[in-house]
Structure 1
Amino acid sequence: MKPNMGGIDRGIRLIVAAIAVILYFTGTLTGTLGIIALVVAGIFTLTSIVSFCPLYALFGLNTCPVKQ
């Protein structure tokens, strides 16, 4: 897998994931919506760690800067 996510994109995803986890564990998000938020947070964290987003590849997007 060739990285297709830039640093800013990865950072934003990690921040959104952290906010979702915090909202779940403080009781703000509960029930089905809370579970969905945790799943999305897990996906965001995983894609940030590996610097690859399958949806970006599907749509031909690439926010990773070109290394020269």
Structure 2
Amino acid sequence: MIHNVGGIDRVLRILVGLVLLGLAATDTVGWWGWLGLVPLATGIIGWCPPYQLLGFNTCALKK
């Protein structure tokens, strides 16, 4: 699988995902906090389906 999510983007996705999951687990936010699984998974995997469809790539260019 080709990676299309780069360094800073990956870190931000993982952090946002963890924060949302933490808020959902403590019942601070509603059920939508469990949607934090999506940015967490895309950050860990390094591939984002919408990026693929739209042609985005935040990975560093290979020389």
State TM-score, norm by structure 1: 0.81
Report percent identity of matched pairs: 37
Q: Which ranges of 4 or more aligned residues in structure 1 deviate by more than 4 Å?
A: none
State TM-score, norm by structure 2: 0.86
Residues 1:18 and 2:18 aligned together:
yes
Which residue of structure 2 aligns with residue 63 of structure 1? 58
The answer to whether the 8 Å contact 2:16/2:36 transfers is: yes
Q: How many residues end up aligned between the 2 structures?
A: 63
Matches of 1:64 and 1:49, distance apart in 2: 14
Asked which structure has the greater CA Rg, the reply is 1
List runs of 5+ in structure 2 lacking aligned partners.
Answer: none
- Structural RMSD (CA): 1.2
List runs of 5+ in structure 1 lacking aligned partners.
Answer: none
